[in-house]
Amino acid sequence: MKSHLIIRLPEHAEQPVHWQNWPEQTDATDNHGILDNTSQLNVLSEKARDTTVIVLVPAAQVTHHQLTVSGRITPAVIQSLPWRLEEELCEDVENLHFTVLHQQKLNGDKGDKGDENDSQLISLALVANSQMALWQSWLEQADLSSHQWLPDALALPCEGDTCTLTEINNSILFKQNTLNFGHCDPSWLSVCLNHLKASNEDMAIQSLSPIENPLITPVKPTPTSPLAPLAPVAINQSTNLLHGQWQRISPRLMGLKPWRKVAALTAVILVLSAGQSVFQTYQLEKKAAVLNFESTAIYKQLFPGERVQAVAVQMRQKLAELQDSSQQTNGLLDTMTDLQPVFTDFIQLKPVTLEYESRQNTLRIEAKAKDFETFTRFRDQSTEKLGGEYTITLDAVERSDKNTVTGILVISGKTV
C-alpha cells in the first residue's frame, strides 16, 4: 500500500497539530504524534518526502450546506450555487471558496445527473478564502506540499444508521452519513446529540475518543491516536477543497516558474526572427518574380514567336548555339564587329531585322531609308571602306510608303 502522511491543521496557529503515518509500521516508534503549534510543521517535511500528504482542516471553519436544484446540473448551475445561499450566509459570497461534496438525485439513482424534470440534492462546503490562505501559508513556510484537503469530520468512519464522534483539540466532530457531518463545542454536545436523535431515534452513537454521555457507546479498543481511525477513510475520499484558485501546482511546474519570463522572451525572439525570415523570403521571392518577368520580356524581344517555359534554360541553349556557330566560322559576332563602323557612319539607314547564315558567312539585313539613293550609296561606300573583305548587294529594294523605302542588304564575307 502506498504510504500517506495525514496532517490535521488547527484553527489557530498556537493550537496543536496532529499527524499520522498510514499504514502504520509495526517496527516504527513514530507513526503518529502531536506538534505544539504550527511553527513546528517543518518537522514533518522530512516525513513528507516520497509520500502522499493529505491535509485535514477543522470542520469548525467549514460551513456545510445542502440545497435542492431542479433540472440538469451544468457548470453554469454549479457556479450559481453559492449565490442561491447568499441570504443564509454571514459573509459576502465573493469572499468564500465553495466545493461540491456530493450530488444525489432525489427519487432516483444516486449520483445520476438526471434530466430536465429531475431534482437533485447538492451538498456544499464553504470556507473563507482568508482561512484557506492562512492554512496554505503554514504549509508553505514548512516546505510541505499537498494536493488534497478535506474537512476532518468528513474522514470519520461511519456505516449504516450509526453516528460517529471523536474529540480533537477540544472540539467534538461528528458524522452521521455522507451528507451530514459537522462539529460542536463540548458544552453543546447534549443538544447536538438530541438533535441527531430526533432525526433517527434508532440511530446508534459511537465515539472514537473517551466522551462521557449516556447516549454514546465508546469504541473498544480505544484508537492509538485521534487520526488513526480517520486515515483509512481520508485516503479513499474523492473530496478535495483544492480546486479553482486554490488548485495546487506540481513541484515540477513550480520549479519551472522562474523560467517563464525567459521562455516568454525566447518565444518573442523566435517569433520576431521567424517573422524577419518570412519577410526576407517574401522580398527575395518578389525580386525573383520581377527579374523573371524582365528576363522573359527580353527573351521574347530577342526571339519573337517562341514559347517561353524556362527562360534561364532557354537562354543558355541560345548562347550555346551562338558559341557553336562562332567556332565553325568567323561568326556573327565577328561580322557585326567589322560592320559596326560602317553602320555608325551611315545613320540614314536603319536596320530592322537580320538573318545570319553561318555556313556561307552571309548576313541578310532588312533596312529602311528615306530614298533609294541611300541604299546605293551605302553599298558603294561600304564596299570600298571594307577593303574587299565583304561583298554587299542589294535585293528587293522598294518603296513601302511615301517617305520610306525598304530593302534587303546581303553582306557576304569570306568563308573559312
Pull the grid cell for residue 145.
506540499
Determine which helix (DSSP H) or strand (DSSP E) holds 391, and give its type and residue range. strand 390-401
What pLDDT, in 10s, does the model give residues 177-195?
A: 877 899 999 999 999 998 8
The residues spanned by each domain of the chain are: 255-328, 329-413
Tell me the C-alpha distance between 50 and 70, whole Å.
45
| pLDDT for residue 403 | 85
Which CATH architecture best describes the domain 329-413? 2-Layer Sandwich (3.30)
* β-strands 171-177, 162-168 pairing: antiparallel
Could you tell me the pLDDT band of residue 253, with boundaries at 50, 70 and 90?
Answer: very low
What pLDDT, in 10s, does the model give residues 79-117?
A: 888 888 888 887 888 899 999 988 888 765 544 455 556
Identify the residue with better confidence: 246 or 178. Answer: 246
What pLDDT, in 10s, does the model give residues 281-318?
A: 888 888 888 888 888 888 877 777 788 878 788 888 87
What pLDDT, in 10s, does the model give residues 120-169?
A: 888 899 999 999 999 999 999 999 999 899 999 999 998 888 999 999 99
Which pTM value belongs to this model? 0.60
| pLDDT for residue 257 | 56
| pLDDT for residue 137 | 94
| pLDDT for residue 356 | 82
Pull the grid cell for residue 287.
525580386
Residue 221: cis peptide before it, omega within 30 degrees of 0: yes
| pLDDT for residue 248 | 73
Identify the residue with better confidence: 358 or 401. Answer: 401
188-212 mean pLDDT: 88
Alpha helices (H) along 228-371: 231-234, 251-256, 260-302, 311-328, 331-345
| pLDDT for residue 416 | 43
Pull the grid cell for residue 122.
447538492
215-240 mean pLDDT: 91
Tell me the C-alpha distance between 65 and 201, whole Å.
23
| pLDDT for residue 156 | 94
